[in-house]
Amino acid sequence: MKISVIGCGYLGAVHAAGMAELGHTVVGVDIDAQKIAALTSGRAPFFEPGVDGLLQSRSDRLRFTTDISEVADAEVHFIAVGTPQAEGGAAADMRFVDAAFASLVPHLRPGALVVGKSTVPVGTAAAIAPQVEAAGASLAWNPEFLREGFAVADTLTPDRLVYGVRAGDDASVALLDRVYSTTLASGTPRIVTDFATAELVKVSANAFLATKISFINAMAEIAEVTGADVTTLADAIGHDTRIGRRFLNAGVGFGGGCLPKDIRAFQARADELGVGHALEFLDHVDQINQRRRARVVELALAALDDQGSRDATVAVLGLAFKPNSDDVRDSPAVDVAVALAREGVRVVATDPQAQRSAARKAPAVTIAPTVEEAINAASVVLVLTEWPEYRDLDPAALAPLTPARVVIDGRNCLDADKWRAAGWTYRGLGRS
Ligand SMILES: NC(=O)c1ccc[n+]([C@@H]2O[C@H](COP(=O)([O-])OP(=O)(O)OC[C@H]3O[C@@H](n4cnc5c(N)ncnc54)[C@H](O)[C@@H]3O)[C@@H](O)[C@H]2O)c1
Ligand SMILES: O=c1ccn([C@@H]2O[C@H](COP(=O)(O)OP(=O)(O)O[C@H]3O[C@H](CO)[C@@H](O)[C@H](O)[C@H]3O)[C@@H](O)[C@H]2O)c(=O)[nH]1
């Protein structure tokens, strides 16, 4: 099938490459000429395992352009533009979605299907559908659940597919089934529903995941004042299959381009709908999450005070919001590094992939190319992203670089006994 993807940022670029891998002929459109140039040369403008490989191996049926008129012969058009948090508010900024539809509609041919992939406030599809239908085309909302770091696998073999369509719109369901025929053949469940439910499935899934993380981080706060160990607690409650162990890792909390802004936009939309009280708990989820960042800053400053001076260096290992990504959007690690720099501390940070993106965002932080250079002569070492290479660090080999030997494990990812045995003062979050 001929498919277009409007918006080739993170989600759109991966989706375009994934659709080509599934056998479709794809044109990707973005207003950012630099992104289009990178994608055209077979390189994603971000780090995500496997994407460059697909861009290169499927280049025969994949092209990228800034010219929206090139989508005119596509049967299915995916909308994957950003819906960031609006400046100065909690709601989603819908200007990119509105602009994408405005630019696409004049090029729609009758019978085409427009598919929303972006995460949007409930009610968006119903509001937009009439302009698509006036062009003789149809609208569906097909939210995306991919995780950064696993984006290719999540695109090709997702946990589920959700189609939000007008009641009785069997033609759109049939078209989407053709788009995803390979995925469906491998047994992926598909849920066909209305626009509002599809939109809500997406934001409620992210709200649930954020709540699960903040729940365990609230337990970490309790553990910190009682001497309990939140990691053992998570293991123990996680054995209950009704609870499950995943997303119960306590630490510096959640960040990224999705969970934080999606729970805020969800609350803002509930307020508009007059049911803000139903989502008041998400405000607490957000606050618990923010408190974890403040707690790491507090622990680092206390460790410096113990050593007698804040005129010192703190090393930060990890800047990306999660491993296997160079994404620093709302990254807890960057936030903590910036907060410490604001306190007058010299912060030297490193990350296997996010050095460049973090340098742009946090000019007050010195970026070091290696762990050894970051740690050298530091009074405190913070581990804020659980990259496998940080989990596997040899504390004995690093010990001579820093006389103070204090490590704060903001992701509870290090082997505490091993670090202590190598002469380090180890401090986790929610565990002693
Ligand atoms: N990043 C993820 O892991 C992920 C996963 C699931 C859902 N989502 C959702 O997908 C959407 C996109 O997220 P993202 O992370 O890819 O954002 P992004 O900022 O990386 O990408 C958005 C892209 O849209 C482009 N754009 C803006 N206006 C445009 C227009 N009028 N025409 C064409 N292109 C335009 C921008 O230039 C940018 O490249 C958001 O709604 C997000 O919540 C993201
Ligand atoms: O136990 C855990 C699990 C995650 N995190 C943090 O939570 C954040 C988000 O992690 P994750 O959800 O894995 O990353 P994303 O790639 O942002 O994916 C989320 O956001 C996407 C965009 O909406 C959705 O598509 C995905 O399903 C949803 O998991 C990161 O900072 C993680 O470090 C924790 O602190 N503890």
pLDDT digits (tens, 9 = 90+) for 55-97: 999 999 999 999 999 999 999 999 999 999 999 999 999 999 9
Nearest CA to ligand 2 atom 15: 147
Q: Which of 331, 324, 385 is nearest to 359 (CA)?
A: 331
pLDDT digits (tens, 9 = 90+) for 222-253: 999 999 999 999 999 999 999 999 999 999 99
Nearest CA to ligand 2 atom 4: 247
pLDDT for residue 408: 98
CA angle 330-411-156, nearest 5°?
65
- Domains, the chain, in order of start with CATH, read 2-192 (3.40.50.720), 194-432 (3.40.50.720)
pLDDT digits (tens, 9 = 90+) for 274-311: 999 999 999 999 999 999 999 999 999 999 999 998 89
| ipTM value | 0.99
Ligand nearest to the Cα of 429, by number: 2
pLDDT digits (tens, 9 = 90+) for 31-43: 999 999 999 999 9
Residue 259 beta carbon below 6 angstroms from any ligand 2 atom: yes
**CA distances to 12, 24, 29, 34, 171 from 181, in Å:** 20, 11, 24, 33, 15
pLDDT for residue 403: 87
149 Cα to the center of ligand 2, angstroms: 10
Q: Which of 14, 30, 70, 81 to mutate to test the pocket of ligand 1 (most atoms within 8 A of CB)?
A: 81
Question: What is the rounded distance in angstroms from the CA atom of residue 66 to the CA atom of residue 90?
Answer: 30
| Residue 258 falls in the annotated catalytic set | yes
Q: Which of 332, 340, 328, 329 is nearest to 365 (CA)?
A: 340
pLDDT for residue 310: 87
Nearest CA to ligand 1 atom 2: 11
400 Cα to the center of ligand 1, angstroms: 45
Ligand 1 atom closest to Cα of residue 32: 37
Residue type, 7: G
Binding-site residues for NAD(+): 30, 35, 83, 119, 148, 261, 329
* Dihedrals phi, psi of 237, to nearest 5 degrees: -75, -30
Q: What is the DSSP letter of 86?
A: P
Q: What are the residues whose beta carbons fall under 8 Å from the beta carbon of 378, sequence distance 6 or more?
A: 312, 313, 314, 315, 348, 401, 402, 404
Ligand nearest to the Cα of 12, by number: 1
Nearest CA to ligand 1 atom 39: 9
258 Cα to the center of ligand 2, angstroms: 8
Ligand 1: list residues with CB < 6 Å.
Answer: 6-12, 29-32, 35, 80-83, 96, 99-100, 103, 118-119, 144, 146, 148, 257-258
* Dihedrals phi, psi of 21, to nearest 5 degrees: -60, -35
Nearest CA to ligand 1 atom 23: 9
- Sign of the CA dihedral running 152, 153, 156, 160: negative
pLDDT digits (tens, 9 = 90+) for 48-61: 999 999 999 999 99
247 Cα to the center of ligand 2, angstroms: 8
pLDDT digits (tens, 9 = 90+) for 151-181: 999 999 999 999 999 999 999 999 999 999 9
Residue 253 beta carbon below 6 angstroms from any ligand 2 atom: yes
pLDDT at 432 over 90: no
pLDDT digits (tens, 9 = 90+) for 95-147: 999 999 999 999 999 999 999 999 999 999 999 999 999 999 999 999 999 99
Ligand 2 atom closest to Cα of residue 206: 28
Q: Which of 74, 76, 73, 82 is nearest to 30 (CA)?
A: 82
Nearest CA to ligand 2 atom 5: 254
Q: Considering the candidates 112, 216, 258, 382, report the single residue annotated as catalytic.
A: 258
Q: What are the residues whose beta carbons fall under 8 Å from the beta carbon of 182, sequence distance 6 or more?
A: 22, 23, 156
pLDDT digits (tens, 9 = 90+) for 12-21: 999 999 999 9
Quote the mean pLDDT of the chain. Answer: 97
Residue type, 206: N
pLDDT digits (tens, 9 = 90+) for 349-379: 999 999 999 999 999 999 999 999 999 989 9
Residue 249 beta carbon below 6 angstroms from any ligand 2 atom: yes
3-class DSSP assignment, residue 286: helix
